[in-house]
Amino acid sequence: MEGLTLSDAEQKYYSDLFSYCDSESTKKVAAHGRVLELFRAAQLPNDVVHQIMELCGATRLGYFGRSQFYIALKLVAVAQSGFPLRVESINTVKDLPLPRFVASKNEQESRHAASYSSDSENQGSYSGVIPPPPGRGQVKKGSTSHDTGQPRTSADQQEPVSPVVSPQQSPPTSPHTWRKHSRHPSGGNSERPLAGPGPFWSPFGEAQSGSSAGDAVWSGHSPPPPQENWVSFADTPPTSTLLTMHPASVQDQTTVRTVASATTANEIRRQSSSYDDPWKITDEQRQYYVNQFKTIQPDLNGFIPGSAAKEFFTKSKLPILELSHIWELSDFDKDGALTLDEFCAAFHLVVARKNGYDLPEKLPESLMPKLIDLEDSADVGDQPGEVGYSGSPAEAPPSKSPSMPSLNQTWPELNQSSEQWETFSERSSSSQTLTQFDSNIAPADPDTAIVHPVPIRMTPSKIHMQEMELKRTGSDHTNPTSPLLVKTADLSEENKINSSVKFASGNTVDGYSSSDSFTSDPEQIGNNVARQRSHSGMSPDNTAPPPPPPRPQPSHSRSSSLDMNRTFSVTTGQQQAGVVAQPPAVPPRPQPSQAAGPVVHRPVDADGLITHTSTSPQQIPEQPNFADFSQFEVFAASNVNEEQDDEAEKHPEVLPVEKASDPASSLRVAKTDSKIEEKTAASAPANVSKGTTPLAPPPKPVRRRLKSEDELRPEVDEHTQKTGVLAAVLASQPSIPRSVGKDKKAIQASIRRNKETNTVLARLNSELQQQLKDVLEERISLEVQLEQLRPFSHL
Amino acid sequence: MGWILVTSATVILFLQNYPLYIRSVPTENELKFHYMVHTSLDVVDEKISAMGKALVDQRELYLGLLYPTEDYKVYGYVTNSKVKFVMVVDSSNTALRDNEIRSMFRKLHNSYTDVMCNPFYNPGDRIQSRAFDGMVTSMMIQVC
């Protein structure tokens, strides 16, 4: 024997057949009996059969060993394909279809085949044709009784062999496999309540009738060459077939008829149909299912609730466990209800099961709802309702090869189906959609986030400042009043939070405009502001150029620098610019720091003062530390002066103002930086000398003041008077860099604060150092004295 | 209240203190696991009652380590319908972290929900769903 190479499909198929033939499990098959039947089923002329047997060596051995058997099968395939029988052809012929053992030469044969195929081996036959819904139970009987003369024994024997060649195609291997598989579970043939399959097979029935040993056969078998039946099912005959199926008794008779018709249909189908997987639903079946669906749920787009489905499928008399499994498989979206697609899949599975097919572990692709295609199905006559349940002739999946195309059957209700399908998809995705939707909801509103006050204090002020800035930009910087007024109004309107922003803007604006007014009345402001100013000035941050509060918006001409520090650092002379530049943008930061800054720096330069004031006002918005208005005023004044390029003058003015403002600022800052206030106050003088503060944005204080004023206003009425000043100052102040993001402002504010703190601490440190020096000096002097005295003492 | 026991091998699902589903990977000592699970049911009940009414929270469904025994750790999880999942894990399996246990319970819960959705399943029956089995198997393979 030549070596035989088999493809996997072939391998499986052959092994199944061999197993089938090897009824005694002796690993060798007698030449007679099943093998013979099998070969006969191959529809080959006898001489060919003999030739094959010779070639494979069985004649020599007297029996078919496995290898011989395989070779024989291969030769059968070769012969069926029309190739000359030669030993070489075993391996040379490529892509040989599996040998088909179809007894469909005539009804009888088909019956035989059917019977055979009914055996588990029958995969091929069913290509896609599901035995008509076996009248459950009944059909079985029918088939059993329906022995139209089929040799039962032969049927039994044939089980595997004659996989009825799927009329349509080469025996799909999967069915083969499947069948085999089904055989296993079946264990005993009679185990399964093959009642179902019975009818199923009944069409074949006739052929198998005998086979009914059928039932036994059934149980184990994959749908016997139901193809024919199925086919017929698909065609008009199926209808009748179905009918027959149901009524058990009737089935018998009808089965025969059906078979006959089925045969015809089968052949027809064989020619027409394509390969399918065994789980494909034919059009007729689909139609049938749909009708069944309608009986339960008129709306094809609707669901069948679980309970109704349960009832319905319970009628199939399948064990609950299997039904449960079928449900698991078919309820695709796990919602406890069946859509049309799911229902069809379930029905299909039930039919398959009844026909002896084992249930798959996973839903075959062809049954997946999404795969179901709504094509126009040949409008097979509606099956009678009875058929409906009894025999969902779901095509017993003769072959498992999922072939979606199979589902693509013309479907009269294509539209409907599509809708259903879509519905299904929608359903299936609904949860996802919902989920997505929900998830979308959450993030929804980034803008709102913007709106909501970022915890940063600066934020609102920033926003406001920005608003103000915008307004200011809109308005002429040179005309601070208008924007200033606006700002003022805004300031007043807004609450503290906003006011801070306004302040910033106002400061910037007012800073400029009010500078003049400030000069005129710096003291007034100073009183109120002074404390604050001083406080703010005292803030340790004074040393550090009060970090420019939010950079004044570039739009603001004066505050173009937007960075008080920058501004100040530029030149004192540029205080104006600085002022302008900085109304420390809504001093996110505690004004005290800024205030302190300016205060501290005041001595150094007016800018510092201004800065201080500006910062303080700015801080005000941030904190209740309203920048000292006094500071602001002073600052404003100084700013004004600065604007007038008269910083120096301002200094002294600022100083007093500062001092005055210190308390004010302290008030303001008290809230946040009481300590700083003290320090600032203390350090102010020290700092004055030190004048370390660079021109901390002079405008800052002004601005801040404006801002703080605004804030204060709502909070502290005492500053109302300064409002005007502040307003002016603010107006003159460089626009607060509202544009700066809130975060920026916040960061800047915090930076400023920290700087202020640093400054304060640094100042303190220096003071302490100074004290230490002093003390050391004293000590030294005392020691010297002591020394001097000592000799005396010694003396 | 079913409970489910999973050990580095065993999974038992119990309903009303009688088992709905039992699965063990190492098939020996199964009785021992069963015993442990039964005893742990008391602990679960205790925790449930202690939790009070607000049981809806997912977090509360997960009971965590019920009690460690010499070689094993027992984890509990209870659903809102008082179905208890008990998992016994081998202590030698130290790789299992709480998160993993939680995710396992979550999966179990989801699978159990799917089983319940099946109209053919009567609550109180033993769970014979193949999908459930498959899930548990894969989970246990992962663990062991």
Question: With an 8 Å Cβ cutoff, is B107 touching chain A?
Answer: no
- What pLDDT shows up at residue B4? 52
- Asked if A219 contacts A189 with a C-beta cutoff of 8 angstroms, the reply is yes
In the predicted model, residues of chain A with pLDDT beneath 70 are 1-6, 21-35, 56-64, 84-279, 369-740, 792-795
Q: Between A522-538 and A591-604, two packed helices, what is the crossing angle to 10 degrees?
A: 110
Question: With an 8 Å Cβ cutoff, is A185 touching chain B?
Answer: no
Residue partners of A644: CB distance under 8 A and separation at least 6:
none
Phi, psi (degrees; rounded to nearest 5) at B63? -90, -15
Instruction: Supply the DSSP symbol for B124.
Output: T
Return the H-helix or E-strand segment holding B79. none
Q: Minimal Cα–Cα distance from B112 to chain A, Å?
A: 12
Q: Between A107-118 and A226-234, two packed helices, what is the crossing angle to 10 degrees?
A: 110
- DSSP 3-state of A303: coil
Tallying the residues shown for chain B, one arrives at: 144
- Asked if A124 contacts A171 with a C-beta cutoff of 8 angstroms, the reply is yes
- What pLDDT shows up at residue A46? 76
**What would the pLDDT profile of B104-141 be if each residue is shown by its tens digit?**
888 888 888 888 888 887 777 777 788 888 888 888 77
Question: With an 8 Å Cβ cutoff, is A320 touching chain B?
Answer: yes
Question: With an 8 Å Cβ cutoff, is A317 touching chain B?
Answer: no
**Sign of CA pseudo-dihedral A680, A684, A685, A688:** positive
DSSP B100-122: HHHHHHHHHHHHHHHHHH-TTPP
- What pLDDT shows up at residue B51? 60
Return the H-helix or E-strand segment holding A678. helix A647-690
Question: With an 8 Å Cβ cutoff, is B56 touching chain A?
Answer: no
* Tokens, residue A250: 């009737």
Give the one of B117, B121, B134 whose C-beta lies nearest to A334's C-beta: B117
HEC string of A425-467 equals HHHHHHHHHHHHHHHHHCCCCHHHHHHCCCCCCHHHHHHHHHH
Residue partners of A169: CB distance under 8 A and separation at least 6:
A124, A127, A270, A273, A274, A275, A276
B134 contacts in chain A (CB < 8 Å): 361
Residue of B112, B113, B118, B132 best to disrupt the A interface, most CBs of A under 10 A:
B118
Question: With an 8 Å Cβ cutoff, is A346 touching chain B?
Answer: no
Cβ–Cβ gap A310/B130 under 8 Å: no
Q: Which alpha helices (DSSP H) does A691-719 contain, by range? A: 699-715
Residue partners of A382: CB distance under 8 A and separation at least 6:
A239, A287, A288, A291
ipTM above 0.85, yes or no: no
Q: Minimal Cα–Cα distance from A331 to chain B, Å?
A: 8
Instruction: Supply the DSSP symbol for A366.
Output: G
- DSSP 3-state of B139: helix
- Burial (CB < 10 A; 0-12, 13-18, 19+), residue B11, is buried
Amino acid (one-letter) located at A572: T
**How many other C-beta atoms are found inside a 10 Å radius of the C-beta of residue A419?**
16
How far is residue A635's CA from residue A533's CA, in Å, rounded to a whole number?
9
- DSSP 3-state of B20: strand
Residue partners of A791: CB distance under 8 A and separation at least 6:
none
Amino acid (one-letter) located at A363: L
Q: How far is CA A447 from CA A4, A435, A451, in A?
A: 74, 22, 6
Give the residue among A110, A289, A277 at the shortest CA–CA distance from A209.
A110
Give the one of B119, B130, B131 whose C-beta lies nearest to A306's C-beta: B119
Domains of chain A, start order:
8-92 (1.10.238.10), 279-355 (1.10.238.10)
Question: With an 8 Å Cβ cutoff, is A323 touching chain B?
Answer: yes
For residue B116, what is the nearest residue in chain A, using CA coordinates?
A336
Cβ–Cβ gap B117/A310 under 8 Å: no
- What pLDDT shows up at residue A127? 40
- What pLDDT shows up at residue A749? 93
**How many other C-beta atoms are found inside a 10 Å radius of the C-beta of residue A461?**
42
**How many other C-beta atoms are found inside a 10 Å radius of the C-beta of residue A441?**
9
Give the one of B120, B128, B134 whose C-beta lies nearest to A327's C-beta: B120
- Asked if B48 contacts B82 with a C-beta cutoff of 8 angstroms, the reply is yes
* Tokens, residue A430: 């609904």
